[in-house]
Chains A and B, each alone.
Chain A
Amino acid sequence: MTNHWIDIKNSDCILIMGSNAAENHPISFKYVTKAMEKGAKLISVDPRFTRTSSKADIYAPLRSGTDIAFLGGMIKYLLDNKLYNKEYTAAYTNAPFIVGKAFEFKDGLFSGYKKNEEGPSLGSYDKSKWAFEMDEKGIPKMDRTLKNKRSVFQLLKAHYSRYDLDKVSKVTGTPKQDLLKVYKTFAATGATGKAGTIMYAMGWTQHTVGTQIIRAMAMIQLLLGNMGVAGGGVNALRGESNVQGSTDHCLLWHIWPGYLKTPRASNTSLDTYNAKWTPRTNDPLSANWWGNYPKYSVSMLKSFFGENARKSNQFGYNWLPKVDDGKAYSWFDIFDAMYKGDVKGFFAWGQNPACSGSNAAKVRKAMENLDWMVNVNIFDNETGSFWKGPGKDPSKIRTEVFMLPAAVSVEKEGSITNSGRWMQWRYQGPKPLGNSRPDGDIIMELGRLLKKEYKTSGGVFQDPILNLKWDYETNGAYDPHKAAKEVNGYFTKDVKVKGKLCKKGTLVPSFAWLQADGSTSSGNWLYCNSYTEKGNMSARRSKKDAPNNIGLYPEFAWCWPVNRRIIYNRASVDPKGRPWDKKDWVIKFAGDQKDGKYVSKKWIGDVPDGGWYPLENPDGSKRKDSKYPFIMRKHGHAQIFGPGRTDGPFPEHYEPLESPVEKNFFSSQRINPAAVVYTTKLDVYATCDPRFPFVGTTYRVSEHWQTGVMTRPQAWLMEMQPDMFVEMSKDLAKLRGIKNGERVNVTSARGTVECTAIVTKRFKPFSVGYATVHQVGVPWHYGWRWPATGKEESANLLTPPAGDPNTRIPETKAFMVNVTKL
């Protein structure tokens, strides 16, 4: 979330699309309701009428996988009716930038496209074709009047001119009057002082166009001036209690803690690595915050290897693994390699891929090729016990499995980070049950044993293991405080920074103090400031709010970066530093002025995105010592045109890999030409195939969670949602002769899952093109291990082997199925 949970109350219009907050983030409705009590409108866009829709002022149905068409239509509506916030768009976004002549878009393809012969990626773009035109100083050329034909703004207009209501309605199945109602209501937040917010989740990410759906919405938020303001922002409702923290600490192949890049093989030294990933700008008004990259990477290496990381050994840079240039090592790729027999050992730590992985039958088959698996969990689950799952013959499966019992969260101490980026400390209640252990203790002990093993009997390339700093314990037990302090970082020698003497061994106050010379450590620069000499900031509990009561609660817990509760908040003020919204302001400039000029620097409110002077003085003269508000972007401007994405600088509608539509109404490209599609004999798919005539989607219910490992063994939750089910319209039930409550089979090209039919008014057929399209939905919480009948299985046995080209997140939100009586 760019903003945070409480901030939703400040919104004037809440769009919930690609999520179902009332069911899956129920407490968010405290703030949705608060906003509505003050007059805010709630819009729910979903293929199915949900508990969220039940509270909405406007409900609009859409066919799964057509969100870009829906949002593209909104962009056109905003532009055609001049409802965008021109002042904001021209000042803070790259709408004025001039795009080079090489950029073009023709019939669904951007310039620079090349088909891929090998896969799994269907094709790729030469992104240099989308570059901005630069002036003689190397600064992008701009036209702040937005009139230049090659400006981003004019290209945007041209691109979405094709997204007229008729066509959008024909694709999405959303009635035209519903589209208009949504567009009109959300567009009203473009007025200065008004704020609209978006709450989205996996309903947007799990598509072959997932990243671009979110970009489309971010573009709308920029056009309406909704970024950085209270009650605005782009808010991803993250699904797990610490998936924000685990992402920040980068349990992901492509990034190192703090969103640093995993080094490529071509980054042969620390210097080449830093040079490659440190962006540069020639614009004195661009803060280009990532220009600090080497300070963060070197400090991270110091945390990894402590005193063993020295300038002479590049701080241990070459001890860490490199990935091949141009190759992906994502979730999908892991199981593809495992299926092909290339992965021998496997840790499934607090995770249940046998139910959570798309095309789960392939995942389960792949596990048979492992020599060993370590599964750490609270309960037995479909992954650890895969060898005795449905259709498996244990006597033919070689894999050794170690199942380690973990403590539950209330039995241990440490912090987690919520969706609003708040890091919160939690404490131990009871001791771990039986012989279960906190994950931290298991990790520490495993590390200790490995270090011992390599030290005593030697082995291949031992340096990183032997040199790894591994002292996060007190009296032989894992100590979360020691790890938290290392994540924050220390001064590793006495140094003078900003005129202040910092003693060796003291905690670094914030990332502005980090250095690239080895004099500081910080396991994750984004968390530098979370545990300082002032104490554990995440444990704070003050209920004091911001002066205008917008719910910042700056001394309750701690949030990254540097406790900034609303990021991009310098876009919440005009170029003179005055808030767009006089009442629910986030920050304002409070420096002294003299003769129409600011003469002293002071911001009040939230921690500003950099404390520079505003862009302009009160008399309108431009200041040279200011910075543009979007400090993480190389050019300081938010990106309406996004030349960094793998699949195009503007979002474009493509059909899902499996869809009921033979021809994309927008272009000759049926599916995303850069999508990732896997190709083993278990990676089958069927589009426009009469055997699978209905659109399928997956979702969650309030009473279960993820694959259900932490809810299915619980009687109270099972009581409310006992069985795997499929929801369908009355029309579809009639067509198939299915009665409410009856057991049915749901089948895709990849598998069959038995479900109880919920025949409901909440699903309705869509009118797509000139045809009627039925859609059904299944929750993905079930699996054979719990309940004990073994008949309630995972929805991911149905989901497809394809994903988004930017993230490789699977397309589990739109695929094709059949529904038949048992």
Chain B
Amino acid sequence: MSKSIFIDTTICTGCRGCQVACKQWHDLPAEKTKNMGSFQNPQDLSFKTYKLVRMNEEIINGRLEWLFFPDQCRHCIDAPCLETAFDENAIYRDTQTGAVIYTKVTRNLDADEIIGSCPYNIPRKAQDNTLAKCDLCSDRVHNGLKPACVTVCPSGAMQFGDRDRILSIAKKRLGKVKQKFSKAMLLNPEDVNVIYLVGFDPKLYADYAVASSDRGGLSRSVALRKMMGPFTRMMRV
């Protein structure tokens, strides 16, 4: 059973405990930033920043909303990056957790192609082309702990567990949230292991909150490989 994270943005307070907890657990260095006229910082995900709370101020139905979106890898059920890489030494799926994991071997891949394949625009490259992103705190999860970001979340906006349970929590929660936010929705719940619940149009939260049709997905060659199924992939390994 793969693991999933549910992120209910309607109760996220934007405290950014998750953003720091991620850096803390992974020993990631801080970036040099500048205040660009917003609380959001860094400005984007990076090789050193796997989790970023995006912040947007929007007037919706005549009311000001400050929208928080803790952005991270969705650990897709069918992960285009994994298929595109076609090298399990570089990108593989942890069968026990369902996490999509990048290794140092990603430096041998075409980084831009991998990034381009992601419908959520998540992976980021280092100067040497090594790729990085959220690893679902694989080491923690294998040792019975929740991912650092979920552990730390004060309001209960993030939950972690077996996919079935998390999906059912998400659906149940959507029903409740709809009483307050009529346009609330889950973002690609069937396709991803990090399931977001938003109260408003997802585009207002982040450019790639939902899978984008104008990017990502599989290139022709990748799609072909995929069609050929496990046999080809076995040959590759």
Contacts and interface: CB of A to CB of B under 8 A. Distances in A.
B20 A717 contact: yes
Contact of A701 (B23, B36, B39, B68): B39
Contacts of A758: 35, 37-39
Interface string B38-63: 11011000000000000001010000
A757 B156 contact: no
A51 B16 CA distance: 11
Interface in B8-33: 11, 13-17, 19-20, 23-24, 29-33
A52 B19 CA distance: 19
B154 A30 contact: yes
Q: Is the interface of B mostly helix, strand, loop or mixed?
A: loop
Nearest to A54: B66
B23 A722 contact: no
Contacts of B29: 715
Given A718-B30, A761-B57, A762-B64, A702 B16 contact: yes
A54 B30 contact: no
Contact of B19 (A715, A720, A759): A720
Which of B17, B37, B38, B59 is packed against the most chain A CB atoms within 10 Å?
Answer: B37
A721 B39 contact: yes
A719 interface: yes
A30 B154 CA distance: 5
A615 B19 CA distance: 54
Nearest to A759: B37
Contacts of B57: 760-762
A29 interface: yes
B30 A49 contact: no
B13 A51 contact: yes
B129 to A, nearest CB: 24
B19 A54 contact: no
Contact of B155 (A29, A703, A742): A29
Interface in B151-166: 154-156
B203 interface: no
Contacts of A716: 20, 23-24, 30
Interface string B132-164: 000000000000000000000011100000000
A722 B13 contact: no
A718 B34 CA distance: 9
A741 B36 contact: yes
Nearest to A33: B155
A737 to B, nearest CB: 15
Q: How large is the interface on A (under 10, 10 to 19, 20 to 34, 35 or more residues)?
A: 35 or more
A23 B42 CA distance: 18
A49 B155 CA distance: 19
A725 to B, nearest CB: 5
Nearest to A27: B154
A421 to B, nearest CB: 21
A703 B16 contact: yes
Interface in A40-75: 49, 51-55, 59
A740 B39 CA distance: 12
B113 interface: no
A27 B20 CA distance: 15
Given A53-B66, A54-B14, A722-B41, A761 B30 contact: no
A380 interface: no
Could you tell me the dominant secondary structure of chain A's interface residues?
mixed
Interface in A678-708: 701-703
Contacts of A742: 37
A22 interface: yes
A480 to B, nearest CB: 28
A718 B31 CA distance: 9
Contacts of B34: 722-723, 756
B65 interface: yes
A758 B42 CA distance: 16
Interface string A324-366: 0000000000000000000000000000000000000000000
A785 B6 CA distance: 41
Contacts of A722: 33-35, 41
A26 interface: yes
A721 B68 CA distance: 16
A760 B32 CA distance: 24
Nearest to A764: B64
A741 B20 contact: no
A49 B15 contact: no
Q: Which of B34, B35, B59, B65 has the most CB of A within 10 A?
A: B35
A26 B66 CA distance: 16
A30 B155 CA distance: 4
B178 to A, nearest CB: 15
A717 B37 CA distance: 17
B66 A51 contact: yes
B37 A740 contact: yes
A93 to B, nearest CB: 35
A719 B30 contact: yes
Contact of A26 (B11, B32, B154, B156): B154
B11 A719 contact: no
Contacts of A23: 13, 15
A58 to B, nearest CB: 11
Contact of B30 (A22, A53, A715): A715
B66 A49 contact: yes
Contacts of B38: 740, 758
A725 B34 CA distance: 11
B152 to A, nearest CB: 10
A716 B23 CA distance: 8
A23 B53 CA distance: 14
A144 to B, nearest CB: 44
B37 A22 contact: no
Nearest to A760: B57
Contacts of A759: 37
A721 B15 contact: no
Nearest to A742: B37
A26 B20 contact: no
B13 A29 contact: yes
16 contacts: A26-B154, A32-B155, A51-B13, A51-B68, A54-B13, A55-B13, A702-B15, A715-B30, A719-B32, A721-B41, A722-B41, A741-B36, A742-B37, A756-B35, A759-B37, A762-B64
Interface of B: 11, 13-17, 19-20, 23-24, 29-39, 41-42, 57, 59, 64-66, 68, 154-156
Interface of A: 22-23, 26-27, 29-30, 32-34, 49, 51-55, 59, 701-703, 715-723, 725, 740-742, 756-762
Given A721-B41, A722-B41, A758-B35, 6 more contacts: A26-B13, A33-B156, A34-B156, A758-B39, A761-B64, A762-B57
